[in-house]
Amino acid sequence: MKALKALFVILTLNSAILLAQGYICAIGGGAEVQGGWSDAPYSWIVQKANYGKVVILTAVSDDNSWMENYFKSFGANSVKSLIINSKTAANSTTNENEIKSAKAVFIKGGDQYNYISYWKDTRTEDAIRYVYQNGGVIAGTSAGAHILSKFYFTARYGSVYPDETLRNPFNSYVDIGDDFLNLMSEDIIFDTHFIERGRWGRLIGFIFNLYYTKNKNVLGVGIDDATALCINSDLKAEVMGSGSVYFFYKDNLTQYILNGLQYKIDKLKCDILTAGWKYDLNQRQIYSAANSSRQFEQSDNIYNLNAEFILSGSDIIRKNQNAALTKFAEVANQKPTLIVYPTGYVSYADSISQFLIGKQIQNEKFEINSAIANLQSSADKIASYENFIFYGANFGAWNFGIDQNYLIAQAFAQKTRTSSKFLLIGTTGKVAGKYFVDNTDNSSSNSYKGLLTVKSGMNIFSPIIIQPRLYENSNFYENRSSAVLWGMMSQNKNLGIYLNDADYAYFNASDGKAYFYGTMPMLVVDASNSTIKDSSSTIVSGTKPRNSVALNNLRFFISNQNCDFDLTQRSSITKIENDIFKKALTYNRLEVYPNPFNPEFNIVITSEKEQEAKLQIYDQLGRKILNETNFSTKKGENVIKLNFENYPSGVYIILAKFSDGKYLTQKIIKAK
């Protein structure tokens, strides 16, 4: 009987240990500032650690004296730094005991794959887990935060950029693990340096990938730099710091569509929170808004589309010629066109003019400046045209066409209320809405410093905020990514459009739809069901708060194929086809998804014609592991499914040889 009682006690104690859960603080990166943004989350770490010992972990030699003193300034009774940069160091009992004696563990930034390579399946991993399971705090910044969620981007093959992931969520750099630390059992993946590096694009790709490769509906949590998500043991979390935290997941309104490598995401749920807001990770919902929050007003989102207009993602004329300009020529019905441009852009206007001449469309160039802004003859000229092309990134000059104190602005406003047709190329497209966000392109730190400005637009379509050239230059990822959200929040606008490269969108007044074309054509944010908003009050640099927002109940629409979007119903289900892009389709292409894989994968071969082909696969030593397999391709996409269950993990090379003498290769990776 005593033995049974003893066994019961042991089982009870073990269950308590297994069920015990500590605290997590995931920090999006950025330099800590004494007396600044970082005080709130770092003091939270020390408080939840009951002012006990803090151990700082890193995999590189570094001077941690400042960080040690920083934790002590909040009351930590001792701080110890450990450099664990090998399996040997990770299996050291001395390091293990040092970690286990801590009440909080802080993992620095760097390269998360170093942590995975050195610490996985070691005493260090066990010790970190021990601290958490015994009610301690596990915190990490940047790479250190990545490994705190159940699913994590490994960076095994280097980083992956958001535009790469949007075009193909299964590309070979998207390597996601789920077998390290395992602190939280909930299906969550963290991403850091979020808006700074435009990573909302890649986080959406991550959760879409996991839905198909792991059959998991994962909550994607994106954390801005200089921002933290502090998670209590009940999985209720609070945002701290200067930026935002983004929560993406598939709910009952969301639709995923995958066909080969073409995909669509319809109504992906997103909540964005700033400091003081709280989120329940278990229920996947906001449970408390900050005192500074206020109502998101929908009353000004008037559906006023009368004119047809086209927006493009690039300022480069050459890229527009086979895309937006060609579409404009199609809908212009051979009617004369007025090319409007600011001073200094005449050479670009000449190029546009020559293109239109080649399409048998008469045109005239019209330079917009202060000298002609109040001339009746200028207003009359505008009134005589039905088709317009706007080009040139000089918003000071465009104000003459916007400010209703000028005659030419009144003439343009009249045209927007008719069935006229407009093409706004690249940056100029911002002015299509009632408002637009400026200062995105003149300094890379403007959003961070709170220097984005909202200006009045031409109001062709009132609800819209537009940002072209999204991923053109990584220095401006933060400005351009945050511009749409800042404009929507600050002006209560409920439709955001991102465009990139040669992609373009055609807004058709007759059927109330926007048609998106290109290689990554549709990036839409819908706030038509948002009810509450907020913005950051934290100054991180300069004199103004950061341009970070909170908005609830957003819906994201993403697609890498041509598609349409209903502007009133806010839905995108119908696939469309376009002769221009049919002709531009890249043939003789070999792609694989998922990649990395285990054990099954799909080979997608896009062929320009019907022909015979042979498939071979080699390992990384050049040994042929799959003998020649003959198959016939049809014109277009061909999908071949293979199972590598009997092959070891590692790198392989696919070689496809065609009867016309051409061949294609692709590297694939079988994950462990």
Tell me the pLDDT tens digit for each residue of 269-323.
999 999 999 999 999 999 999 999 999 999 989 888 999 999 999 999 999 999 9
pLDDT score of 14: 40
pLDDT higher than 70, residue 400: yes
Q: Which residue has the tokens 């699913």?
A: 151
pLDDT score of 16: 34
Structure tokens at 397: 């000059």
pLDDT score of 588: 66
| Range with the poorest average pLDDT among 30-34, 47-51, 646-650, 662-666 | 662-666
User: Could you give the CA distance from residue 54 to residue 47 in angstroms, rounded to a whole number?
Assistant: 11
Query: What H or E segment, with its residue span, contains residue 310?
Result: strand 308-312
pLDDT higher than 60, residue 236: yes
HSE toward the beta carbon, residue 271, CA cutoff 13 A: 22
Bridge partners (DSSP) of residue 631 are 613
Cα 70–chain centre separation: 33
User: Could you give the CA distance from residue 638 to residue 295 in angstroms, rounded to a whole number?
Assistant: 50
Which CATH architecture best describes the domain 308-583? 3-Layer(aba) Sandwich (3.40)
User: Of 465, 546, 473, 484, which Cα lies nearest the Cα of 200?
Assistant: 484
**Could you tell me the pLDDT band of residue 655, with boundaries at 50, 70 and 90?**
confident
pLDDT higher than 90, residue 10: no
DSSP state of 218: P
Structure tokens at 561: 């194929």
Q: Which alpha helices (DSSP H) does 424-567 contain, by range?
A: 477-491
Q: Which alpha helices (DSSP H) does 49-151 contain, by range?
A: 65-73, 87-90, 93-100, 112-119, 123-133, 143-146
Per-residue pLDDT reduced to its tens digit, 477-515: 999 999 999 999 999 999 999 999 999 999 999 999 999
Q: Annotate 543-581 with b (16+ C-beta within 10 A) or e (fewer).
A: eebbbbbbbbbbbbbbbbbbbbbebeebbbeeeeebeeb
Structure tokens at 180: 């390290």
pLDDT score of 576: 38
Q: What residue spans define the domains of the chain?
A: 20-143, 308-583, 586-670
| Range with the poorest average pLDDT among 87-101, 192-206, 258-272, 324-338 | 258-272
pLDDT higher than 90, residue 611: no
Per-residue pLDDT reduced to its tens digit, 56-66: 999 998 899 99
Specify the 3-state DSSP secondary structure of 559: strand
pLDDT higher than 90, residue 260: no
pLDDT higher than 50, residue 6: no
**Could you tell me the pLDDT band of residue 620, with boundaries at 50, 70 and 90?**
low
User: Of 387, 350, 394, 336, which Cα lies nearest the Cα of 368?
Assistant: 394
pLDDT higher than 50, residue 11: no
pLDDT score of 628: 64
User: Could you give the CA distance from residue 588 to residue 147 in angstroms, rounded to a whole number?
Assistant: 39
User: pLDDT: is 496 or 635 the higher one?
Assistant: 496
How many residues make up the chain in this entry? 672
Cα 461–chain centre separation: 25
β-strand pairing of 227-231 with 23-27: antiparallel
What integer best gives the mean pLDDT of the chain?
92
Per-residue pLDDT reduced to its tens digit, 510-558: 999 999 999 888 999 999 999 999 999 999 998 999 999 999 999 999 9
pLDDT higher than 90, residue 9: no
pLDDT score of 122: 98
| Range with the poorest average pLDDT among 32-36, 125-129, 543-547, 640-644 | 640-644
Per-residue pLDDT reduced to its tens digit, 138-188: 999 999 999 999 999 999 999 999 999 999 999 889 999 999 999 999 999
pLDDT score of 585: 39
User: Could you give the CA distance from residue 453 to residue 468 in angstroms, rounded to a whole number?
Assistant: 16
pLDDT score of 587: 52
CATH number for the domain whose boundaries are 586-670: 2.60.40.2550
- Residue 455 CB coordination number (10 Å): 16
Per-residue pLDDT reduced to its tens digit, 152-162: 999 999 999 99
| Average pLDDT, integer, range 655-662 | 78
User: Could you give the CA distance from residue 114 to residue 525 in angstroms, rounded to a whole number?
Assistant: 36
User: Could you give the CA distance from residue 434 to residue 523 in angstroms, rounded to a whole number?
Assistant: 20
Which CATH architecture best describes the domain 20-143? 3-Layer(aba) Sandwich (3.40)
User: Could you give the CA distance from residue 451 to residue 447 in angstroms, rounded to a whole number?
Assistant: 6
Q: pTM of the entire structure?
A: 0.85
User: Of 620, 669, 628, 629, which Cα lies nearest the Cα of 649?
Assistant: 669
User: pLDDT: is 596 or 397 the higher one?
Assistant: 397
| Average pLDDT, integer, range 245-271 | 94
Specify the 3-state DSSP secondary structure of 329: helix
**Could you tell me the pLDDT band of residue 652, with boundaries at 50, 70 and 90?**
confident
| DSSP character string of 2-58 | HHHHHHHHHHHHHHHHHH---EEEEE------TTSTTHHHHHHHHHHTTT-EEEEEE
Q: Annotate 278-308 with b (16+ C-beta within 10 A) or e (fewer).
A: bbebeebebeebbeebeebeeeebeeebebb
Structure tokens at 585: 């389709």
β-strand pairing of 245-249 with 255-259: unpaired
pLDDT score of 578: 39
pLDDT score of 1: 40
HSE toward the beta carbon, residue 433, CA cutoff 13 A: 25
| Average pLDDT, integer, range 105-110 | 97
Q: Are 635 and 609 in contact (CB under 8 A)?
A: yes
Asked if 20-143 and 586-670 have one fold, the answer is no
What are the CA-CA distances from residue 476 to residues 100, 195, 542 (Å)?
Answer: 43, 10, 18
pLDDT score of 443: 95
Structure tokens at 114: 């170093």
Structure tokens at 402: 């916007």
pLDDT higher than 90, residue 364: yes
